[in-house]
Amino acid sequence: NAGVTQTPKFQVLKTGQSMTLQCAQDMNHNSMYWYRQDPGMGLRLIYYSASEGTTDKGEVPNGYNVSRLNKREFSLRLESAAPSQTSVYFCASNEQGVTEAFFGQGTRLTVV
């Protein structure tokens, strides 16, 4: 009963380093999402994928790339990390047309 699994849970990067956040869901959902949460803010959408092979920009896509590797997995890549990307990142998924989105446990990323 895993749901949405994100790795890693915590990460510290130096400015300019790259890394990929991994997300996998085992609920056979078509749609997957990446959000970021900054202190005092709600979640903001970075990218989403309506189905395998498609991706679209959300509200704050600059500095990120995504890959929908297959139906289960949706990764978020930071090519050159900046301190402004220090945040908690959430992956989510939902069944096509169904209302509720399920969230992963979050990845706390610090860029120094």
Q: Give me the residues that bind another protein (CB under 8 A), please.
A: 30-31, 33, 35, 40-45, 48-51, 54, 56, 58-59, 88, 90, 92, 94-103, 105-106, 108
Nearer to another protein, 19 or 52 (CB): 52
Closest CA relative to residue 4, chosen from 25, 29, 35:
25
Q: How far is the CB of 110 from another protein (least distance, A)?
A: 14
Q: Which is nearer to another protein, 25 or 49 (CB)?
A: 49
CA gyration radius for the chain? Answer: 13
- Contact partners, residue 98, CB within 8 Å, separation at least 6: none
Q: Give the DSSP per-residue string, 18-36.
A: -EEEEEEESS--SEEEEEE
**Nearer Cβ to another protein (78/90):** 90
Shortest separation between residue 16's beta carbon and another protein, angstroms: 27
* CB nearer another protein, residue 16 or residue 27: 27
Cis check for the bond before 8: say yes or no (omega within 30 of 0): yes
